[in-house]
Amino acid sequence: MTATKNRLIAAGLAASLVAGMATVAAAGEIRVGITMRMISENGQKYGQMVMDEIDMINKAGGINGNTINATLLNDECKSDKGVANATKLIFQEKVHLLIGSTCSSVSLPIVDVTAKAEVPQIIPHSTNAKITQKGSAWVFRVPVSGRYYAGVNAKYVGENIGKKIAYLCAADAASQNDCEAMQSQMKSQHGVEPAYAAQVQEKEVDFRTHMQKIKTANVDGIMIAALAETMARALTQSYEAGIPASVRRIGSSSASNSPVPSIAGDAAKGVFFAAAYAAADRRPIARLFNEMVRKRYNINAPDHDFSQAYDLIRIVELALGRADLKLDSGSLAADRTAIRDAIASVENYQGLASGPISFCAAPTPQCRDGNRTAVLIAYTKGGENYVTEVLARVTMPADFGL
């Protein structure tokens, strides 16, 4: 694809998602700090897409004539490194806005840092429900909260798969939250306890003992909650242990990440999960986005972490355009507050997410979990050229799971 066509696609996407940007001439610098998990190829591409989109905003004239100066750091999904990144960006770089992180185990402690420093934080990927339950007035979440995912998954599983479910849960914060919430919802909606439950380490490689026990338990389904590479290994070993395809494999939201079907291959077929975006979406805006990601980043079908990062930048662009920013040596605190209030004013943003994203002023999960529409997605083919289908879209009440 030519550079010109790349620009046209991105411009078309931005035009379809955000309208009404002011173009008042001004001179200033909006400092944005970003900390994300970039230890995998996909993670690096999420970060690169965020930087590419910011660069395109600047080349198109910036925000009301102001330039966005973005600093991207890798936190490697390590909480101490994420906190160190946030501290550096806030106190040394003096950012006006912090974006991050990918991993819930990193985003959770950063919320305390941004709340104390009074810096707006907007989260691209983390789903742990506790993030917005901390009561910070400075945090916003673009992805679907795990409390919504659990309700959707449990309803579908109980009505279509069965009630005898085994759980294999990695130790990272998002996976633990997904497992606990799913078990809670299965008990609440269907009155059942786990048929088998075990915690494993994030980078564990041998699940055969667990799979043999699960096979013996004669379950209806297995929920595997883990980051992508770990989930792919567990899926493969479930078949090596002789657990048949009739036992449905249920993934946490990270099942949407392309390394799962790419690494798991045929073992990914039939796996279903709740996510925020499906590459199988046939809306024109989704098809345009899929083409852009495919050509720009060599990704066959973008997962929801691509779409959520893109929606986040469009929301940030919209909010920064609304904020009354002074951007001088004495206005840092006031500018941070103005950006926070502008993000809180975003209502019914229509983008790549399957439902609208809305925020409001109160420091509550109801106001700060902006995306309430989960998509149930299943793999119909694994491997590098994987294929998905949409099973359902469900919008949850704002107070669900609280």
Reported confidence tier of residue 4, pLDDT bands at 50, 70, 90: very low
Backbone angles phi, psi at 394, to 5 degrees: -135, 125
Question: Residue 177 pLDDT > 90, yes or no?
Answer: no
CB 379 within 8 A of CB 386: yes
From CA 360, how far away is CA 337, in angstroms rounded?
14
**3-145+282-372 matches 147-275+375-395 in fold:** yes
Q: What's the burial of 178, exposed, middle or buried (CB within 10 Å: 0-12/13-18/19+)? A: buried
> For residue 267, what is the DSSP state?
G
User: For 363-395, how does the pLDDT look when each residue is reduced to its tens digit (9 = 90+)?
Assistant: 999 999 999 999 999 999 999 889 999 998 999
**H or E segment at 388?**
strand 387-395
* Collapsed DSSP state (helix, strand, coil) of residue 129: coil
Compute the distance between CA of residue 105 and CA of residue 251 in angstroms, rounded to an integer. Answer: 19
CATH number of 147-275+375-395: 3.40.50.2300
Q: Who has greater pLDDT, 259 or 34?
A: 34
User: Which residues make beta-bridge pairs with 206?
Assistant: none
Average pLDDT over residues 178-207: 92
Residue 21: its pLDDT value, please?
Answer: 41
**CATH code reported for the domain at 3-145+282-372:** 3.40.50.2300
Whether the model pTM is above 0.95: no
Q: How far apart are CA 144 and CA 158, in angstroms?
A: 21
Under the banding of pLDDT at 50, 70 and 90, the label for residue 25 is very low
Q: Mean pLDDT throughout 73-80?
A: 96
* Both structure tokens of 294: 């495919």
CB atoms near residue 16 (< 10 Å): 15
What are the φ/ψ torsions at residue 334 (nearest 5 degrees)?
Answer: -65, -40
What are the sequence ranges of the domains in the chain?
A: 3-145+282-372, 147-275+375-395
Residue 24 has pLDDT above 80, yes or no: no
Q: How far apart are CA 13 and CA 15, in angstroms?
A: 5
